[in-house]
Structure 1
Amino acid sequence: NGAGKTTTVKMMLREHVATSGCIEAPHAPRDSTEGACCVPVASRGSLYRGARLGVCPQHDALWDALNAEEHMHLFLRVRLGLAYKHSDWEQYVKRALAKVQLSEGGEKASEKFSGGMKRKLQVCIAMFTGASTVFLDEPSTGM
């Protein structure tokens, strides 16, 4: 509707730079290099901060050939690095997919998903792969 939801999320992720004002996040450390009131939610070049964010973008960002379980394992591996062991996370992934009512999609390639199933998977990836902060941009579109 043009209210600026996607733009706000992109500013919080530092994909867009605000021309004025600042974004404040509760309990976040303040960055004195950006002014007294500005809080860096994410910064370019900051792997740690970026790795702690869960993002459900407005448009689906999935690999067609991967199924829901493979997507979840991929994102867990990216977030956890060497601490990730596939067998340790199998039941967790199944429970996470069940929470977004995507159990039946676990084995099917995402290219075969309906629009609603793709959105559910995006929400699941954002919320259940270890993020401490989650940004949801139009998460229910198509559901």
Structure 2
Amino acid sequence: MNGQQEYAVWADGLRKRYGETCALDGFDLAVRRGTVHGLLGPNGAGKTTAVRILATLVRLDGGRVTVAGVDPARDPQGVRRRIGLTGQYAALDESLTGRQNLEVFGRLFRLGGRRAGHRAGQLLEEFGLTEAGDKGVDEYSGGMRRRLDLAVSMILTPEVLFLDEPTTGLDPRARGEVWDTVRTLVAGGTTVLLTTQYLDEADRLAAHITVMDRGRAIADDTPGGLKNTVGGDRIEVVTAHARDLRRVAAVIARVAVPGAEPETVERERRVHAPVDDRVAALTEVARTLRDEGVQVEDLGLRRPSLDDVFLRLTGHRTEAAR
């Protein structure tokens, strides 16, 4: 890797220890400008430590970093002027209105009263909160609070925005609202580094994904590229009765990719395996199971998911998928 201008965030060989614990063990990262880059990993993988180092909140023990073209170790204030950071929980004062929250943060960022008020109005409009701007934050829905929290992080129009699990605890509608907001920010030129436990979130938003484990990057590719490492299409059958699982596995084995053994998940009464010719495989399995009188609750084809990738790379599923 190199620290060329095409990267908004670049890290080479980051190391960080907390006593006997090695949080980062040679972590590398390259985030292209104007994109959403997903950072995935199990709990304890080092994601939070990496983000804290990049955001100048923690000093690294070794390695090299540039954020928006600035070295955090040499010029932390220069980095802070160029970034925004939104944590897992909204940092808002519920006793104030949305507009007042933005104005307070604007003053904290030394915009002055008039500029802070003007910027608050701009952000309320940009984040679709104008009508709610003069309502108390305690009246906001979860999605509105998160959008206001994002607006706070954008007061200084940062080049790079760090989002740490931005939709944790939100319902599907609110999550969709936040996703739309993130896409709008990126369309305006902001680079986003996203950490999340929701793999569908990374799949929908991120142009590139880095998977971490034990303080290192263990995979780095586009969502599609990562899925291709698991394999192509898979045929999947859910039986009505557990007693038929062996028969189903034998049928699927005939159409599976050579050398691939069907996998059986007994508690779900599900059997699946990779296939090359998806249409022929589906037709053959459906006909054979019908002829053998096997009752099926579900039969279909599916593409690998990021959850499959995560399971293959780390040995277990994310917390959100359990």
Question: How far off is 1:58 after superposition?
Answer: 1.7
- Structure possessing the higher radius of gyration over alpha carbons: 2
> Could you tell me how far apart the structure 2 residues matched to 1:41 and 1:133 are?
18
Indicate the SS of the match to 1:105: coil
Alignment RMSD (CA, Å): 2.9
Match of 2:57 in 1: 15
For structure 2, which runs of at least 5 residues remain unmatched after alignment?
A: 1-40, 175-322
> Could you tell me how far apart the structure 2 residues matched to 1:76 and 1:63 are?
14
Give the number of the structure whose residues are more often strand, by fraction: 2
Indicate the SS of the match to 1:54: strand
Question: How far off is 1:4 after superposition?
Answer: 4.7
Q: Is the 2:107–2:116 contact (alpha carbons within 8 Å) kept by the matching residues of 1?
A: no
Q: Aligned ranges for residues 9-88 of structure 1 at < 5 Å?
A: 9-28=51-70, 30=71, 39-40=72-73, 43=76, 50=80, 53-80=83-110, 84-86=112-114, 88=115
Give the number of the structure whose residues are more often helix, by fraction: 1
Report sequence identity in percent. 26
| Residues 9-68 of structure 1, C-alpha deviations (whole Å, 9 max, x = no match) | 22223434445434332421x4xxxxxxxx43874xx5x754654221121111110111
TM-score w.r.t. the length of structure 2 is 0.34
For residue 8 of structure 1, what is the amino acid of its counterpart?
A
Establish whether residue 94 from structure 1 lines up as the match of residue 136 from structure 2.
no
For structure 1, which runs of at least 5 residues remain unmatched after alignment?
A: 31-38
Question: How far off is 1:113 after superposition?
Answer: 1.3
TM-score w.r.t. the length of structure 1 is 0.68
Question: How far off is 1:8 after superposition?
Answer: 2.4
For residue 85 of structure 1, what is the amino acid of its counterpart?
G
Bigger relative contact order, structure 1 or 2 (CA pairs below 8 A, ≥6 apart): 1
Match of 1:123 in 2: 150
| Residues 70-116 of structure 1, C-alpha deviations (whole Å, 9 max, x = no match) | 111111111126xx133x54343222111111112211111221111
Indicate the SS of the match to 2:94: coil
Q: Is the 1:12–1:42 contact (alpha carbons within 8 Å) kept by the matching residues of 2?
A: no
Indicate the SS of the match to 1:21: strand
